[in-house]
Structure 1
Amino acid sequence: MAVPAADVAAAVPVEEPAGKRRQAFRFLATGKAITGLVIIGVLVVLSVIGEWIAPYDPSARSSDLLEGPSGRHWLGTTHLGQDILSQLLVGTRSVMVVGLVSGLVATILAVVIGVTSGYLSGLGGEGLSAVSNVFLVIPALPLIVIIASIVPEVSTLGIALIIGCTSWAWGARVLRAQTLSLRRRDYVEAARATGESTWRIIGVEILPNLTAVIASSFVGTVIFAVLSEITLAFIGVSGGAEWNWGTILFWAQSQQALDQGAWWWFVPAGLAIAILGTSLSLVNFGIDEFVNPRLRTGGRMRAGFTPVVRGGDR
């Protein structure tokens, strides 16, 4: 449990700014966080330069029909002779933009509405909670399909905003429940008794204790957004960019690539989706280990290990 800032200042000497920076980024020392961030960084770079390094135009047809991986086409071709590697590289930008923008928008809304409704009492808190309940019962994916079908010329950024604005309710409910359990803690009561403002109490005393929950909400929303965009493309409601990983899977399924033994048509896109989800989960695990001392293998507290003293060791 966190302690009041006044008690910490009285009991512990002031730490140097460099030490604070080291402590703030200590979670990067875990192999999980580094691996996840490296993978995400590579995907972000590919989303920026994918169109430049793609060996072919992803929509260009050729006479190399449904060929497997070779020197000319590293990931094979489609039934029209289109290069699958080029489609995968060009489609990375749409997936990353939708995933990260949606995750950022949904997380901001979840933090603002969830934490505020959990800390405030009375009509304000109940009103925000009611808004969360309304969005919670709305089926997100069908709503996204309807909006994307109605809105003409919807862009990739537009799809990201639609997904982000319709997928924040679960995170808000979790954050509200955690805030309700934190707002009566001793250090929060002490900050309130000293006359601290409401927003400073929320920002300084409560939000730092919700870091792991916020990170989990962001990761979950990004994964949901990526899967939602891929689902939209898979059912033919792609919008925005012409190519993304879901579009590749759509054409592979519609042309029965599995029945034809063309595994190279759908396996790369599926692996790319799995790698993105794994990297986000690894970052989340690294943050959990940083926030929760019981998950740190190098600390004195270990979850799941009970010291046992043998009779011969006494």
Structure 2
Amino acid sequence: MKPLLSSVKTRTGLGVLLLFAVIAVIGPWIAPHSPSAMSPDILQPPSARHLLGTTQSGQDVFSQLLVGTRGVLVVGFLSAVIATVLSCVVGITSGYLGGLADETLSATGNIFLVLPGLPLIIIIASLLPESGNLVVAAVIGLTGWAWGARVLRAQTLSLRRRDYVTAARAIGEPTWRVIVVEILPNLSAVIISSFVGTVINAVLSVITLSFIGVVDLSEWNWGTILFWAQSNQALAQNAWWWFVPAGLCIALLGTALALVNFGIDELVNPRLRIPHATVSRGQRRRLPAPARRRTYMRVGFTAVLPDTAVPRPPDAPASAPPQPSAADFVPLGSPAAVKELT
């Protein structure tokens, strides 16, 4: 299996995430000004004194951006942890136990699955007396676990029929040990991919809630910056430095999470691993053009061999039959294959 960190996309995404994590930790300490402090410098463009300019109240945009990174990441990852734990408990348990437990848990998941997520979060957050980052993270996590539970249930239904699971049950292993030791490790890639997807949805949700002014606006995040920029008509005043940096940070964080998700998909998807498992990149460059094209042809999960003969083993006798080559195989979809089928 191809290592996760061998993908350039995954390394790039993890590098950007690490950068944002460092900013979230040290951001309030290295901020040159207090994010809420007002000054006489009103709507000033970026300068040496204010790296990203100031707002209509003289607040430093760069300080708001540094301090607001922590709120976005805390809500995103905390809500993803809550949703992932709930999806694992509900999905794996219902898929393994079956019967009445499966029907009950599946019905509960289906109810949450058909509920409109963002409107429900808006209603719950607006009804709460205090809607800080922790409360918003809990609300997003409690309403965003259903889809992950459905995917894990489907995977568990497939794994519960495997031989090693049947053997563990036959020797008297308790249910919790079969789930934790035998089934859960085989679902790790799916769980990680679901976690990353939940982080993306949670980040977009908390920024949306802040942008429409539902949550507590005294806690800074990127959505709060956009809310005040929109309320004070920053676009009409050509104050691009007020909202463009926050928008770029949102796009960069979403891109980094998407790159990590793509890398996980390449790791768990057999179809995406076939070109790497068939022949190395250096060997593929030395092959002729037709062979390079046939390297990517597949029959199900099996790659078609290139036009290179398989070498004879050193210890094979002289009378041994010759090893098959790619000429003995008919590529799928070729006229010869169609002729043989008809």
Sort the TM-score into its range (normalised by shorter chain): 0.7 to 0.9
CA distance in 2, matches of 1:288, 1:209: 15
- 1:304 CA displacement: 8.0
* 2:210 pairs with one of 233, 240, 245: 233
| CA RMSD of superposed structures (Å) | 2.6
Q: Does 1:299 align with 2:277?
A: yes
The normalised TM-score by structure 2 is 0.77
- The one-letter code of the counterpart of 1:117 is S
What are the superposed Cα offsets for residues 94-129 of structure 1, whole Å, 9 maximum, x if unpaired?
101100100011001001101111111111111111
- The one-letter code of the counterpart of 1:79 is Q
* 1:288 pairs with one of 265, 280, 290: 265
Look up the SS of the partner of 2:53 in the other structure. coil
- The one-letter code of the counterpart of 2:82 is V
CA distance in 2, matches of 1:260, 1:186: 67
Residue pairs, 1:179-258, within 5 angstroms: 179-239=156-216, 242-258=219-235
Check whether the contact 1:67–1:78 (CA below 8 A) recurs between aligned residues.
Answer: yes
CA distance in 1, matches of 2:183, 2:254: 29
> CA distance change for structure 1 residues 36 and 165 in 2, over 3 Å: closer, same or farther?
same
- 1:69 CA displacement: 1.7
Partner of 1:166: 143
- The one-letter code of the counterpart of 1:39 is V
CA distance in 1, matches of 2:276, 2:141: 37
Residue pairs, 1:50-61, within 5 angstroms: 50-61=27-38
Unaligned runs of 5+ residues in structure 2 are 281-293, 298-304, 309-325, 328-342
- The one-letter code of the counterpart of 1:251 is W
Residue pairs, 1:92-171, within 5 angstroms: 92-171=69-148
- 1:187 CA displacement: 3.4
- Number of equivalenced pairs: 290
Look up the SS of the partner of 1:266 in the other structure. helix
The normalised TM-score by structure 1 is 0.84
- The one-letter code of the counterpart of 1:118 is G
Partner of 1:90: 67
- 1:293 CA displacement: 4.8
Check whether the contact 1:159–1:240 (CA below 8 A) recurs between aligned residues.
Answer: no
Check whether the contact 2:45–2:53 (CA below 8 A) recurs between aligned residues.
Answer: yes
Q: Does 1:273 align with 2:250?
A: yes
- 1:36 CA displacement: 2.0
CA distance in 2, matches of 1:190, 1:288: 30
What are the superposed Cα offsets for residues 261-287 of structure 1, whole Å, 9 maximum, x if unpaired?
222211111111111112222222333
* 1:81 pairs with one of 55, 58, 81: 58
Partner of 1:309: 307
Look up the SS of the partner of 1:142 in the other structure. helix
Instruction: Tell which deviates more after alignment, 282-291 or 142-151.
Output: 282-291
CA distance in 1, matches of 2:220, 2:77: 18
What are the superposed Cα offsets for residues 79-108 of structure 1, whole Å, 9 maximum, x if unpaired?
222111111001111101100100011001
Unaligned runs of 5+ residues in structure 1 are 1-22
CA distance in 2, matches of 1:179, 1:240: 42
CA distance in 2, matches of 1:136, 1:265: 37
- The one-letter code of the counterpart of 1:300 is T
- 1:239 CA displacement: 1.9
* 1:64 pairs with one of 41, 45, 57: 41
> CA distance change for structure 1 residues 67 and 115 in 2, over 3 Å: closer, same or farther?
same
In percent, how many aligned pairs have the same letter? 64
Check whether the contact 1:66–1:78 (CA below 8 A) recurs between aligned residues.
Answer: yes
Of structures 1 and 2, the larger Rg is shown by 2
Q: Does 1:28 align with 2:5?
A: yes
CA distance in 1, matches of 2:295, 2:239: 46
Instruction: Tell which deviates more after alignment, 136-145 or 296-305.
Output: 296-305
Check whether the contact 2:200–2:254 (CA below 8 A) recurs between aligned residues.
Answer: yes
